């Protein structure tokens, strides 16, 4: 089920990520199948994405990001209670968009991965926009750093 | 942002769908950006998927389906209060999996589309499995019917 | 389990309410016990409260209301799919607060009731405040109307 | 806003609790008012209650508990990101029910308290039932212990 977007980055490999978020599951994340519901994973990835992007884009600033596309691959089911680790990395920067990838891990097992396209968004006009130069530079530095990290970890 | 999965099916076109679910938004679907949060869309698509698949797979039967992959394209933001229509159709049947596509509409505007891969799942062993012949036949009939419908609608 | 707050108003009786909201349940409202999770009821009551209060307080106005206390009585379990009706009424007005009551019904059966205390809130200072006179008058008229309605319905 | 149920137990005082759960907030717990939505608190209290009751009632056992009533007092607003501590204690045991109380804390500040009535529930008949003697004894021991603890802490 390779979506072909992230090339040879191993999204199920902890070594692919250099930003981490810890998250506690909740009883009501689970559905009648007795496992964490798929939509809860979308919430988990968002927690990681918001914390990760806070390094580049200031909350409440006139330029924020909105999610334009997400692909989630569900690899293993899990259940409450417990703590999850979510890894994040940038995978590409466009003119008005940025791509990122995520993995949810329970100990060493990868439960799900996500690839996201986020669009820079003017919170006053509510339309897509170019990011400030400072944001673009910070993201380019992070992208360069994560590529080096992936190579070093490979 | 074509994911290339569904060929020339127009997922943003109401005429592409032959199963419909009506859904009321909730205040708490919204986040601090003042619009419906992306994870709420995952919940909306699931409501449609569960109702649509109930035509083929019986709830509580030893063979159910679980979501293996979802791609969501977010096209327009929306906000509470209001009612949404979600269209559903099958797009492919594999050995142990079935593919489906969805569109969320507010009146004539498409807010988001989704493409899903669901895997047939033995609820006792909690592993993927082949579907019963009756389920496969019902899905193949639905797939044939929706292709005809799409052609007629095109 | 009478909380003693609403006197002799029959919160489980459809005739007690004069504002109604219709709401569709969602698959993920349910938990591993196979029924709608208790926290989903808090979401349902909020949908009704926000729609009900929109008659008195304008969204985005400098004075809004925030929930200060809620008591929910859970009477019967229910499950997806289906549609619920939520009845609302005012039960009292204080200096800086307003009390309201709610009932969730599936057809003729009352599934849960709630009693709420909401506080008027200045969205700029984020502190409790007196409501504008127009809001107080509109609420007093509604309260008078609902008392008459309850008597008429009794 | 004393509900009069828990006598002189200080629910806003960390020293009142002897069971603790740590929980991470999520971006989507927040609503358009820019703070954690009230229904998220119902979810938080449930996480604590399920973990607390797991000491007495086994998940999947034929006797479980269901929530019959909850009263939540909202004292202070909060926002993502951050970690919360939830304290829990028993406050009473009836024939077929058990009462418990909770406080949500961010550092030393109490954000909300809850008082709950849970009913013992036969998962096969889906009706209220008497708890097994072992469960009653374990809860009575916990209740005695928490009263001593409260006195010691006072």
Average pLDDT over residues D61-87: 95
* Regions of chain B short of the pLDDT cut 70: 1-9, 59-60, 149-154
Residue in the block written with tokens 């100990």: A107
D85 lies within 8 A of chain A by CB: no
> Do D28 and B34 lie within an 8 Å CB cutoff?
no
DSSP D131: P
Q: With CB atoms and an 8 Å threshold, state whether B42 touches A42.
A: yes
**How high does pLDDT run on average in chain D?**
90
* Cβ atoms of residues D71 and C71 within 8 Å: yes
CB B101 within 8 A of CB B149: no
Inter-chain touch C69–D69, beta carbons under 8 Å: no
Cis omega (within 30 of 0) on the bond before C65?
A: no
Tokens of B128: 């993927």
Asked if A59 has any chain D CB less than 8 Å from its own CB, the reply is no
**B97 and B24 in contact (C-beta within 8 Å)?**
no
Chain C residue numbers touching D3 (CB-CB < 8 A):
3, 71
Quick one: which H or E segment has residue C12?
Answer: none
Query: What is the largest distance, in Å, between two alpha-carbon atoms of chain D?
Result: 48
Kindly give the residue spans of alpha helices, DSSP state H, lying in chain C.
Answer: 38-53, 133-153
What's the whole-number mean pLDDT along residues D62-81? 95
Task: Report which of C90, C137, C98, C92 is spatially closest to residue C119, judged by C-alpha positions.
Answer: C98
Q: Is D28 on the interface with B (CB under 8 A)?
A: yes
B26 vs B88: CA distance, rounded Å: 22
> Quick one: average pLDDT of C9-15?
91
C3 → chain D, closest CA residue: D3
d(CA B44, CA D143): 43
H, E, C per residue of chain B:
CCCCCCCCCCCCCHHHCCEEEEEECCHHHECCCCCECHHHHHHHHHHHHHHHHCCCCCCCCCEEEEEEEEEEEECCCCCCCCEEEEEEEEEEECCCEEEEEEEEEECCEEEEEEEEEEEEEECCCCEECCCCHHHHHHHHHHHHHHHHHHHHHC
Q: Is residue D46 within 8 angstroms of chain A, CB to CB?
A: yes
> Contacts by B120-125 with C-beta closer than 8 Å and gap 24+?
B120/B63, B120/B64, B120/B65, B120/B96, B121/B63, B121/B64, B121/B65, B121/B66, B122/B62, B122/B63, B123/A33, B123/B61, B123/B62, B123/B63, B123/B64, B124/B62
- Determine the pLDDT at residue B130: 95
With contact defined as beta carbons under 8 Å apart, do B8 and B67 qualify? no
Q: What is residue C59's predicted lDDT score, i.e. its pLDDT?
A: 65
CA separation for the pair C43, D72 (Å, rounded): 14
Mean pLDDT, residues D76-82: 97
Q: Retrieve residue A72's tokens.
A: 């989630």
Whether residue C81 has a cis bond before it, omega within 30° of 0: yes
C119 has pLDDT over 60: yes
Residue D27 pLDDT greater than 50, yes or no: yes
Neighbouring C-beta atoms of residue A57, cutoff 10 Å: 22
What is the mean pLDDT of the segment spanning D91-116?
Answer: 97
Residues of A with CB below 8 A from D44's CB?
Answer: 26
Q: Which residues of chain C neighbour A34 with C-beta distances below 8 Å? A: 32
Q: Is D144 exposed, middle or buried (0-12, 13-18, 19+ CB in 10 A)?
A: exposed
From first to last of its 154 residues, chain A has per-residue pLDDT tens of 334 445 556 999 999 998 999 999 999 999 999 999 999 999 999 999 999 999 987 766 788 899 999 999 999 999 999 999 999 999 999 999 999 999 999 999 999 999 999 999 998 898 999 999 999 999 999 999 887 755 443 3
Nearest chain D Cα distance for residue A116, angstroms = 17
**pLDDT value at residue C2:** 39
* Domain parsing of chain B, residue ranges: 14-146
Tell which residue, B84, B80, D36, has the closest CA to residue C50: B80
Give the phi and the psi of residue C29 in degrees, each rounded to 5. Answer: -70, -15
Listed residue (B121, B102, B127, B6) closest to B46, CA to CA: B102
Compute CA distances D70 → A98, B123, D85, D122, whole Å: 44, 34, 19, 20
Calpha distance A80→D47 (Å, rounded)? 9
Q: What is the per-residue DSSP string for D71-128?
A: EEEE-----SS-EEEEEEEEEEE-SSEEEEEEEEEETTEEEEEEEEEEEEEETTTTEE
Tell me what pLDDT residue A59 has: 65
Q: Cα–Cα distances in Å, from D20 out to A38, C97, D48, D85, D89?
A: 28, 32, 7, 7, 9
Percent of chain D residues past pLDDT 90, beyond the cut: 77
Task: Please check whether residue B41 is in contact with residue B74, taking contact to mean a CB–CB distance below 8 angstroms.
Answer: yes
CATH topology of domain B14-146: Thiol Ester Dehydrase; Chain A (3.10.129)
Share of chain C above pLDDT 70, in %: 89
How many CA atoms lie less than 13 Å away from D18 in the CB half-sphere?
17
Calculate ∠ Cα B103-B106-B109, nearest 5°.
75
Contact D24 A47 (CB under 8 A): yes
Which pLDDT score, from 0 to 100, does residue D149 have? 59
This complex has an ipTM of 0.91
């Amino acid at each position: 089920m390779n979506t072909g977007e992230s090339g040879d980055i191993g999204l199920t490999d902890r070594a692919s990520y250099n930003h981490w978020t810890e998250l506690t599951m909740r009883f009501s994340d689970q559905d009648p199948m007795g496992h964490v519901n798929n939509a809860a994973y979308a919430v988990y990835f968002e927690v990681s994405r918001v914390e990760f992007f806070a390094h580049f884009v200031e909350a409440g600033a006139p330029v924020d990001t909105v999610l334009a596309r997400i692909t989630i691959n569900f690899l293993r089911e899990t259940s409450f209670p417990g703590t999850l680790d979510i890894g994040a990395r940038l995978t590409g920067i466009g003119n008005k968009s940025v791509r990122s990838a995520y993995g949810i891990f329970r100990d060493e097992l990868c439960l799900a991965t996500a690839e996201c396209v986020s669009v820079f968004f003017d919170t006053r006009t509510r339309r897509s926009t170019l990011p400030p130069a400072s944001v673009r530079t910070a993201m380019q530095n992070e992208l360069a750093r994560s590529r080096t990290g992936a190579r070093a970890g490979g």
